[in-house]
Structure 1
Amino acid sequence: MNVDANVKPAAPSATATVLLVDDEPVSRLSMAARLKRMGLRVLEAGDGKEGLAILRRERPDLTILDWVMPEMDGPTVCEQVRQDADILSSQLILMTSHDQPEQIAEGLARGADDFLSKSASKQEVIARVQSGLRAASLVRSIESARDELRAKQGELEGELKSAADYIQSLLPVEGEIAPQIDMAWTYRPSLALGGDLFNVSSWDDHSIYFYILDASGHGVSPALRAASFATFLRPENLRHCITQHDPAAMLTEANSRYPLTKDGNYFTIWIGSFNRTTHQLSYATAGHGGALIQRRGGAIEWLTRAHLPLGFEPDSTYELTTIQIADGDRVVLMSDGVYEAPAPTGEIWGTARLEDTLSAHRSVPLKEALPALMAEAERWHGAPVFPDDAALLGLEFRV
């Protein structure tokens, strides 16, 4: 390497530390003196094994290694460093008196960053050391940015976990929710916190209502929007807005309160109400297609209506549909994350396979049928976490 003798590279930071590993005392003393004149803190070791121990303990900015040493030679030290996750980014310079191309190739292959001839001039020593220190500074800056990013990611994951726990706390308690009505559910949130929620509430002594909603998007914001919507859907809040447990009226009121956000986010929702005296189920939907009834004999009918999600048209009104419930009928609400679960090939599971699975488990209790349905969707997907939230809410009627 040719360096103009008149060029005086800027001195490195006075705080930089260089580890010098050389078994020849005179050579080590001479090189150490040069490095100290550059304003560097110098650590010394007489063989590779000692040098590796100091490198792990002190984490110097740059390590200069003689090639031939007892106990452990320079290239072996390089190999050991590159296999240690804690120090693998260390900057290593090999010193050799035989800087042949094949030797340089071997040293680089075994982990060295640069080479320095033992006969190098003062200018070359300065240039190579400064180059190594600049590289070390850059690597440490990158590592610092990486660690900061990991810390922020950890904070974000903690916030997502707290939000997920809060969302889970809003879900209903399984079991008999009213005389002659059993309820069960299963829920698989995706890795990215979503906005799927469901619940069951009593309107009065003779009726209940239940729903499933989905806030568009993923993350803390849609999840908290969904939580806010769920709070609005509590009976003590709804009674201030409507006079009867009419799902269509509930959706009309919700449509006026939850318009499209400036980012285009919205809700889809299905709401049903059941009268325990007449055994009638009335329902309305705003863009949500995940509801069906499975009769005691096994027949399945989807309880859906084509309608825009909430907030698209401020003056929207919603159609109420009423059906009769018989003894043993089951109503199942689900998020689209269940039947749209993709296989590794990309093919979605689909409603036909979902129906087949429900039919295969019609004879088992509801609290076993829903987990079995989720497990089959998981088997199709090939992983325990779906791309979107996967929720199932089921009610079984004994009338």
Structure 2
Amino acid sequence: MKTETSKSESGNPVNILVVDDAPANLLVLVGMLKERGYRVRPVPSGKLALLAARRDPPDLILLDINMPEMNGYEVCEKLKEDDALKGIPVIFISALTEPLDKVKAFALGGVDYLIKPFQMEELQARVETHLKLRQLQIELEAANASLLKANDRMTRDLRAAAKIQEMFLPRDLPQMPGVQFSWLYKPCNELGGDGLNVIPLGDGQVGLYLLDVSGHGVAAALLSVSLSRLLSAPWEPSSILIRDRNVGLGNNITPPSEVVAHLNRLFPFDPATEQYATMVYGILHVESGVFRYASAGHPGPVHIKSSSQPVLLESQGGPIGLANDPYEERSVRLESGDRLYIYSDGIPEAMNSAGKQFGYGRLLETIGRGLSEPLDVSVANLQGDITRWQQAELPQDDISILAIEILAR
């Protein structure tokens, strides 16, 4: 009487290849296994076993050891060398009882070892166990393959998103007499939440911003790109940096406080995403050196004169999406040789292996030391000091710097 057995992955009866050079043994094994509903294929030699396995790979192999021409060990070794067959579980069935025989069988890739004579109930139990394990292995391999495809697709999507984000970073810095700009952007992941740019506004004025969206990854990058799109050049339809693009510049340039307030209205805090942004947006009048700026919960810019120590400027105002009070506008005059550094909080909050922050003291010290170096070099040195401070620690936040220097006239 047949008993119900597990099916193979295709839904057909489980396919078992039985290999033994003794016809009587084959007859007994085939009869007992067929009674339990298996599809059984008997072969009397190792060479025929390999041919049969390659022609129609079985779900499991029962393999004798002592056979002429090619013994069971050699058959198992050949199976494990074949990428299409190496996953098939092999149960050795042998009269050999020495421990070393079992050790060799397992070393060559066998999953089990039965000693003749054996009870059919024991064989049935081991066959079912290894068939279930094989099925789980197949399912795991399929899941891993699916995850690998999904990961590859996600990697491609992240690279594409990173390319879009790069479009809102400075491509060609404005070349204007009397001023120099430098910037650095190092996201801690494939996608960052920081954004920065330098935008010519005409009439001898330049807009500058550095923003930092809370969190990391796709959600932060999307909000960063949305904000950056509104802070684009005046001739872009989405730009909010001028009040009316049909009117000439001059008084038509949107003041920094109005720009930040506009963003605060457009991007209210969403409890579902818990995202907000901090930023500094300012307008530099190159000829006078006056920098008017508004801050939204962002660290204060660092101002360093050619003859004094760097100082942190005032920076008040709530983050974008969270502010209730009006934004105030502040200004600082940059004289010949002065520099201004705007940066993300990933710099002062950079952690070392001891959990200690880089801090504002080291930030001011590093900027002060770099005054004798070209502006690009001072920015690179600041980033280098942060990297050395973090040592082997992975960055926990994006690092962004936007620097200005008023050149000698």
Give the TM-score of the pair, scaled to structure 1. Answer: 0.82
Bigger Cα displacement from structure 2, 259-268 vs 90-99: 90-99
Q: 1:388 and 1:276 mapped to 2: Cα distance?
A: 32
Deviation at 1:372, TM superposition (A): 2.6
The one of 384, 390, 395 equivalent to 1:381 is: 390
Deviation at 1:103, TM superposition (A): 7.1
Q: 1:146 and 1:326 mapped to 2: Cα distance?
A: 61
Aligned residues: 391
Deviation at 1:30, TM superposition (A): 5.6
Q: 1:337 and 1:331 mapped to 2: Cα distance?
A: 18
Q: 1:40 and 1:290 mapped to 2: Cα distance?
A: 77
Counterparts in 2 of 1:94-113, with a 5 A limit?
94-98=92-96, 112-113=110-111
Which residue is equivalent to 1:240?
243
Deviation at 1:200, TM superposition (A): 0.9
Q: Are the counterparts in 1 of residues 17 and 61 from structure 2 also a CA contact under 8 Å?
A: yes
The one of 271, 276, 282 equivalent to 1:266 is: 276
The alignment's C-alpha RMSD in Å is: 3.8
| TM-aligned CA distance change 1:45 to 1:146, over 3 Å | farther
| TM-aligned CA distance change 1:345 to 1:143, over 3 Å | farther
Q: 1:248 and 1:130 mapped to 2: Cα distance?
A: 74
Deviation at 1:317, TM superposition (A): 0.8
Tell me, what secondary structure is at the counterpart of 1:178? coil
Q: Does 1:191 align with 2:159?
A: no
Which residue is equivalent to 1:292?
302
Which residue is equivalent to 2:129?
131
Deviation at 1:367, TM superposition (A): 2.0
- Unmatched tracts of structure 2, length 5 or more: 245-250
| TM-aligned CA distance change 1:100 to 1:12, over 3 Å | farther
Tell me, what secondary structure is at the counterpart of 2:371? coil
Q: 2:393 and 2:49 mapped to 1: Cα distance?
A: 47
Which residue is equivalent to 2:366?
357
Q: 2:391 and 2:290 mapped to 1: Cα distance?
A: 39
Deviation at 1:219, TM superposition (A): 2.0
Which residue is equivalent to 1:3?
none
Which residue is equivalent to 2:406?
397
Q: 1:110 and 1:346 mapped to 2: Cα distance?
A: 49
- Unmatched tracts of structure 1, length 5 or more: 1-5
Deviation at 1:251, TM superposition (A): 1.1
Q: Does 1:330 align with 2:329?
A: no
Q: Are the counterparts in 1 of residues 178 and 287 from structure 2 also a CA contact under 8 Å?
A: no
The one of 1, 7, 12 equivalent to 1:12 is: 7
Which residue is equivalent to 2:317?
307
| TM-aligned CA distance change 1:27 to 1:385, over 3 Å | same
| TM-aligned CA distance change 1:95 to 1:248, over 3 Å | same
| TM-aligned CA distance change 1:319 to 1:120, over 3 Å | same
Q: 2:215 and 2:42 mapped to 1: Cα distance?
A: 55
The one of 53, 56, 62 equivalent to 1:64 is: 62
Q: Does 1:40 align with 2:56?
A: no
Q: Are the counterparts in 1 of residues 263 and 320 from structure 2 also a CA contact under 8 Å?
A: yes
Deviation at 1:74, TM superposition (A): 4.2
Q: Are the counterparts in 1 of residues 208 and 282 from structure 2 also a CA contact under 8 Å?
A: yes
Which residue is equivalent to 1:339?
348
Counterparts in 2 of 1:115-264, with a 5 A limit?
115-191=113-189, 193-236=191-234, 237-238=239-240, 239-240=242-243, 243-263=252-272, 264=274
Deviation at 1:121, TM superposition (A): 3.4
Which residue is equivalent to 2:247?
none
Tell me, what secondary structure is at the counterpart of 2:199? strand
Q: Are the counterparts in 1 of residues 73 and 108 from structure 2 also a CA contact under 8 Å?
A: no
Q: 1:180 and 1:53 mapped to 2: Cα distance?
A: 82
Deviation at 1:180, TM superposition (A): 2.1
Bigger Cα displacement from structure 2, 272-281 vs 21-30: 21-30
| TM-aligned CA distance change 1:311 to 1:106, over 3 Å | same
Bigger Cα displacement from structure 2, 169-178 vs 316-325: 169-178
Q: Equivalent pairs: percent with the same residue?
A: 27
Deviation at 1:288, TM superposition (A): 0.9
Q: 1:182 and 1:54 mapped to 2: Cα distance?
A: 76
| TM-aligned CA distance change 1:120 to 1:168, over 3 Å | same
Supply the AA of the counterpart residue of 2:192.
G
Tell me, what secondary structure is at the counterpart of 1:336? coil
Q: Are the counterparts in 1 of residues 346 and 398 from structure 2 also a CA contact under 8 Å?
A: yes
Q: 2:56 and 2:153 mapped to 1: Cα distance?
A: 30
| TM-aligned CA distance change 1:278 to 1:137, over 3 Å | same
